[in-house]
A and B are shown apart, each in its own frame.
Chain A
Amino acid sequence: AQSVSQHNHHVILSEAASLELGCNYSYGGTVNLFWYVQYPGQHLQLLLKYFSGDPLVKGIKGFEAEFIKSKFSFNLRKPSVQWSDTAEYFCAVTSLRTGNQFYFGTGTSLTVIP
């Protein structure tokens, strides 16, 4: 089975600070990688995804993530966070090997202080 680790459980930043959230997965084959965000009181929505090609993926709201295959990592970054980025962030992995089963990390709660 696949496993996904998100090392930061709670992150508190001031506005304009840079953000990097870690995500590592265990399966070494071909994977599809995702970051989802859950704003307070809202449903999970996709931030960005990687299927193939350029390992640097750009998503919505200025977020980006870099796939480093040798490190089994897919870290999420944003150069300058805003108060509205306060949310819970989930990394997810799936692959043809696992069918359509997604494996999620336990999430990182981000609080941005104005």
Chain B
Amino acid sequence: KAGVTQTPRYLIKTRGQQVTLSCSPISGHRSVSWYQQTPGQGLQFLFEYFSETQRNKGNFPGRFSGRQFSNSRSEMNVSTLELGDSALYLCASSPTTTSGPGELFFGEGSRLTVL
């Protein structure tokens, strides 16, 4: 079974630009979450999508947005990039369980550097 795939793996942007990151979840997983990982801050929750609907949203500005397609693939977009947006962006998919939140399966991440 293929794991969570994120593209691109590395990218460099300049301040003010925008970026789109893509995530393909494990086949059959309908929940996709995004996290921002920075040294010292750990993993900060961005948002979670389930069946094309945003189910949860973290405490990030509106410059951070996302969407999920009917095949469960997800994208996140960051507009008007700032230096502080430099981070590893992680996508995680999760199976639906009857007992509640299942475990997260992570991709390798997209490392964004903003100059």
Contact = CB atoms under 8 A, between A and B. Distances in A.
A24 to B, nearest CB: 14
Nearest to A100: B101
A43 B50 CA distance: 22
B108 A101 contact: no
B56 A99 contact: yes
A51 B55 CA distance: 22
A98 B108 CA distance: 25
Contacts of A99: 48, 55-56, 101
Interface string B91-115: 0101000011111111111000000
Of listed B55, B99, B101, residue having the most chain A CB within 10 A: B101
Contacts of B92: 44
B31 interface: yes
Contacts of B105: 46
Interface stretch (B10-18, B35-43, B66-74, B76-84): B35-43
Interface of A: 32, 34, 36, 42-46, 49, 51, 90, 92, 94-96, 98-107
B23 interface: no
Given A99-B101, A107-B42, A43 B55 contact: no
Closest 4 CB pairs of A and B: A106-B42, A104-B43, A44-B106, A94-B101
B8 to A, nearest CB: 15
A12 B104 CA distance: 28
B45 A103 contact: yes
A46 B45 CA distance: 17
Nearest to B106: A44
Contact of B31 (A49, A95, A100, A107): A100
A44 B41 contact: no
Interface in B17-31: 31
Contact of A49 (B41, B103, B109): B103
Contact of B101 (A90, A96, A104, A105): A96
B107 A100 contact: no
Given A96-B101, A99-B101, A44 B90 contact: yes
